[in-house]
Amino acid sequence: MGEPSSSEKLLFGGELTYEQGWNQHNGAWLRLGLRTMAAALPRHIGIAVRLARQADPRSLLVVGLCELGRGISQAVSLVAVSALLGELFAPGSNAERLRAALPALLLVALVTLLGAVLRSASMAATGILEPKVSRVATERYLGLVARVEMSAIEDDAFHKLMDSAQWGAESARRMVRLCTAVATSCISLVAAAGVLAVLHPALLPLLIVMALPSAWGSLTMARQQYVSRHRFIQHVRAAHLISQLLINQQAAGEVRVHEVGPFLLTHFRGMAETSEKEQTRLAWLGARTGLIADSARGVATVATYGVLGLLLWSGSMEFAVGATAVLAIRSGSAGINDLVLTVTDVQEESLFVADLEALCEEAERRAIPAGGKDLPEHCGEIRFDNVTFTYHGSDEPSLRDVSLVVPAGRTVALVGRNGSGKTTLTKLLSGLYLPDHGRVTWGGVDTAEADRAQIFSRVAMVAQDFHRWPFTARVNIGIGRSSALHDEAAVDAAAAYSGADEIIGSLPRGKDTLLVRGFRGGREISGGQWQKIGLARARFRDGQVLIVDEPTSALDPAAEQKVFDQIHRLAGHGQTTVLITHRLHSVRHADLIYVLEEGRVVEHGTFEQLMHPETGRGFFREAYDVQARQFHGASAMMPSPRSGEPGRDSGATAKPDDEVVP
Ligand SMILES: Nc1ncnc2c1ncn2[C@@H]1O[C@H](COP(=O)(O)OP(=O)(O)OP(=O)(O)O)[C@@H](O)[C@H]1O
């Protein structure tokens, strides 16, 4: 591979190579020999045919029949040409010879026309097949990936497979055309070989002699081009990254203030020059290889025509047969040439299609099981019994021997330090993960045995990092119940619930404003405004269990108060709510508070119980006091309105409810 330039060494520490899975294929088929490739060819064609059959069996049949028809018409055409030449070189007057040759001439014209029609039909059917194959392959893998367990999504190996498989659908599309081309080459080769064998047994080895150097030349050239592409790509990648940084919006300030522009431009030129040198070198290399291949082809051609000439001179072959043989050898060797070129392409594409197959198999293996035990209509409670859970690739469990109860229709708060396991607990509760030990049950049904689709259908969730869909405000609110997206009253009610109605009112196209910048009509909204949209989404979803993870971290105090009021109001209407927050004053109305510490529940109870020295173990009380002291400290620093001095009692003492501020 090409040496990294000094710019690449400075900026990237060496060659800029993607981590993606497909990178593993760099040069993979270069290591394969012609025999291995030929042996693998039927399997690869089999994959393309299977995908094509799934996508559009009729078009596949049309392609198959047309190609077969073309092969037959080629063979017939060669035989007819032979007959035509035979008549033309027969003794007799010109008029007699022309008359005798007329039927053969008509046949040649007819099969040539037929061949052209079949070729067009095959091309049209291939054109119809290609996008369908790409769609079927994409749909299949996306559908499967969307159903795999979260543990698979977080598994690096699975991720790499997903990265490389993304290229597989496009490769499958190209495979269709390539496989059609392989079939065309094979059929014309068989037709030419068949005709030659019929004309004279000695002609068949001539075809092989003529075709071998050209096959070698094609393979060598294909390999050179492949190496060139991969050598080139690393420098292109690096230069592209630099050019993107120079026009990047986020980097724009620093590019100007720190004068990064000229620095990056210098290195951009350095990288571009490296790749230019590389291309020049490869162009010469390509020319040299081409020259050797063409010379070898020339020698083989001279040898072939020499033997043909000998056969004619010795009288072992008629002139008409010799002329037909020339045509058949030319068409046969062109077939071999095309075959070698397309087979190398098929080989390369098939590596990615094989990845796609591997991903689909793995995704099926790791899919969330369909079906399972039904949940009761009304689950009285959700229970955790001695649940332990470790994330894939982690050494330490994130939940340790957790037992708790979430009673239906109540508000349960989860509090605790960062990383204590609150979010993880909600992921197990909602069936996204299954415990390693212990049980999570919904109305007595273990989530490991339950129909998880039923669990998901009962959950509405505003995760800490809920997704900001690059769609309209309407879709961002309604995506969790997409069948009701056009229910204006429901969308408006959900928006009003979280305060998102004000945001929508200020958007140029209201609910139908695109919430992503960089597209026409798109708007960007603030983090706090997104949080209101996220809450509206959870409300719209209308699940039996509402999970809100840090719902107010980006909200201003007034909006925060409103959100908590709304959540408490929902609980009053029988909604089960699991609330995660660091704002300890806001959980005082929760029916039950669980305090987590390093993956364990260290205490639980009502706000009053946890705050009371006799009933609480102190974890919650201490954290609450820390927050309260921060507030008092801050208020002590504020100048008194009357005295103008910090720390003087202004008489406006904070009520306990207002005490705890982040
Ligand atoms: N996807 C993951 N893979 C591996 N470890 C994870 C993953 N998600 C969380 N963890 C780890 O699990 C532990 C619990 O994380 P969790 O997000 O549940 O904590 P939390 O109490 O919600 O924290 P915070 O208050 O910061 O949101 C942490 O040590 C965290 O690093």
**pLDDT number for residue 662:** 28
The answer to whether residue 452 is domain-embedded is yes
Determine the Cα–Cα distance for residues 533 and 563; give it in Å rounded to an integer.
Answer: 12
pLDDT digits (tens, 9 = 90+) for 5-52: 787 788 878 776 655 554 555 555 555 566 676 677 788 778 878 889
Give nearest CA residue, ligand 1 atom 5.
Answer: 391
Do residues 149 and 172 both lie within one domain? yes
155 lines ligand 1 (CB under 6 A): no
Q: Note whether residue 416 is domain-resident.
A: yes
546 CA distance to ligand 1 middle (Å): 20
Inside any domain, residue 463: no
Residue to mutate (ligand 1; options 387, 390, 394; most atoms within 8 A of CB): 394
Closest CA to 236 of 3, 16, 21: 16
Residue 598, pLDDT > 80, answer yes
| Among candidate residues 515, 540, 565, the one where a domain is terminated | 540
Helices (H), 248-318: 252-257, 260-313
Atom of ligand 1 nearest to the CA of 599: 14
| Ligand 1 site, residue 418, Cβ cutoff 6 A | yes
pLDDT the model gives residue 578: 93
Residue with the nearest Cα to atom 26 of ligand 1? 418
Which pLDDT does position 18 carry in this prediction? Answer: 59
Parent domain of 479: 468-540
Q: Indicate the residue type of 116.
A: A
Pick the most confident of 62-66, 220-224, 614-618. Answer: 62-66
Considering the domain architecture, whether residues 394 and 424 belong to the same structural domain is answered as: yes
Distance CA 156, CA 152 (A): 8
**How far is 491 from 484, CA to CA, in rounded Å?**
8
Ligand 1 atom with minimal separation from the 582 CA: 25
> Strands 600-605 and 445-446: what pairing?
unpaired
pTM metric for this prediction: 0.72
pLDDT in tens, 67-93: 889 888 888 888 888 788 878 877 778
Nearest Cα to 435, choosing from 464, 407, 402, 408? 402
Asked whether residue 412 falls in the same domain as residue 429, the answer is yes
Q: How confident is the prediction for the chain on average, in pLDDT?
A: 82
The tokens describing 463, both together, are 């995760």
Pocket test for ligand 1, best of 398, 414, 462, 596 (most atoms within 8 A of CB): 398
Distance 418 CA to ligand 1 centre (A): 8
| Residue-level pLDDT at 180 | 85
> For ligand 1, is residue 531 a contact (CB within 6 Å)?
no
Ligand 1 midpoint to CA 45 (Å): 46
Atom number in ligand 1 closest to CA 420: 21
Helix H or strand E encompassing 505: helix 500-506
Q: Is 421 in the pocket of ligand 1 (CB under 6 A)?
A: yes
SS3 for 529-589, per residue? Answer: HHHHHHHHHHHHHCCCEEEEECCCCCCCHHHHHHHHHHHHHHHHCCCEEEEECCCHHHHCC
Q: Which of 241, 229, 281, 279 lies closest to 7, judged by CA?
A: 241
**Among 622, 556, 604, 572, CA closest to 413:** 604
Q: Which residues contact 110 (CB under 8 A, 6 or more apart)?
A: none
> Domain check: are 420 and 556 in the same one?
yes
Distance 599 CA to ligand 1 centre (A): 9
Q: Do both 90 and 149 map to the same domain? A: yes
Residue bearing the bigger pLDDT, 514 or 462:
514
Pairwise CA distance, residues 460 & 462, whole Å: 7
Query: Which range, of 21-25, 112-116, 175-179, 245-249, averages the lowest pLDDT?
Result: 21-25
Burial class (CB in 10 A: 0-12, 13-18, 19+), 195: buried
| 600 close to ligand 1 (CB < 6 Angstrom) | no
Same domain, 211 and 195: no
- Residue where a domain terminates, one of 498, 518, 540: 540
At 649 the pLDDT is 37
Probe ligand 1: pick from 387, 420, 432, max atoms within 8 Å of CB?
Answer: 420
Query: Is any atom of ligand 1 closer than 6 Å to the C-beta of 464?
Result: yes
Interval between CA 389 and ligand 1 midpoint (Å): 11
| 3 state SS of 358 | helix
- Separation between Cα atoms, residue 186 and residue 335, nearest integer Å: 7
State the residue for tokens 């690059």.
Answer: 470
User: Would 323 be classed as within a structural domain?
Assistant: no
371: left (phi over 0), alpha (psi -120 to 50) or beta: left
Which of the two residues, 2 and 116, has the higher pLDDT score? 116
Indicate the burial class of 203 (C-beta count within 10 angstroms; 0-12, 13-18, 19 or more): buried
The rounded distance, in Å, linking the Cα atoms of 186 and 71 is 9
Report the CATH number at residue 560.
Answer: 3.40.50.300
Indicate the burial class of 649 (C-beta count within 10 angstroms; 0-12, 13-18, 19 or more): exposed
The amino acid occupying position 390 is T
Least confident stretch, 382-396, 582-596, 631-645: 631-645
Residue with tokens 């859970």: 389
Q: Which residues fall within 8 angstroms of residue 330, CB to CB, at 6 or more apart?
A: none
E strand or H helix at 246 = helix 203-247
The encoded tokens of residue 128 equal 């119809």
Tokens of 151: 């543990």
In this structure, are residues 399 and 388 in contact, taking their beta carbons and an 8 Å threshold?
yes
Specify whether 535 is located in the same domain as 640: no
Domain count, the chain: 4
pLDDT at 203: 76
Nearest to 347 by CA among 130, 17, 123, 47: 47
Whole-number pLDDT of residue 412: 94
Amino acid letter at 16?
L
Q: What separation in Å is there between the alpha carbon of 375 and the centre of ligand 1? A: 28
* Position 328 in a domain: no
Element (H, E) at 12: helix 6-12
561 and 512 within one domain: no
Q: Is 156 in the pocket of ligand 1 (CB under 6 A)?
A: no
Residue 139 has pLDDT above 70, yes or no: yes
Closest atom of ligand 1 to 424 CA is: 18
DSSP string, 114-175: HHHHHHHHHHHHHHHHHHHHHHHHHHHHHHHHTTB-HHHHT-HHHHHHHHHHHHHHHHHHHH
Residue nearest to atom 20 of ligand 1 (CA): 419
Q: Which residue has the higher pLDDT, 108 or 286?
A: 108
Sorted by sequence, the CB contacts under 8 Å of residue 231 that are 6+ apart come out as 1, 2, 278, 282
- From the CA of 436, how far away is ligand 1's center (Å)? 16
Cα 401 to middle of ligand 1, angstroms: 16
Q: Are residues 86 and 96 in the same domain?
A: yes
Q: Is residue 333 part of a domain?
A: no
Same domain, 430 and 571: yes
Mean pLDDT of 344-366: 85
Residue 334 placed within a domain: no
Domain assignment present for residue 321? The answer is no
Report the separation in Å between the CA atom of 249 and the middle of ligand 1, taken as the mean of its atom positions.
Answer: 31
Rg (alpha carbons) of the chain, rounded to whole number? 37
Domain end point (choices 512, 540, 568):
540
- State whether 594 and 522 are in the same domain: no
Q: Compute, in degrees rounded to 10, the torsion defined by CA atoms 8, 11, 12, 17.
A: -50
Q: Report d(CA 223, CA 352) in Å as an integer.
A: 18
> Which of these, 411, 381, 407, 410, lies nearest to 586 by C-alpha position?
411
196 shares a domain with 110: yes
Q: In ligand 1, which atom is closest to the CA atom of 393?
A: 4
For atom 25 of ligand 1, the residue with the nearest CA is: 418
Dist. CA 173–CA 206, nearest whole Å: 36
Could you give phi then psi for residue 425, rounded to 5 degrees?
A: -60, -40
Round to whole Å and give the CA distance between 474 and 578: 25
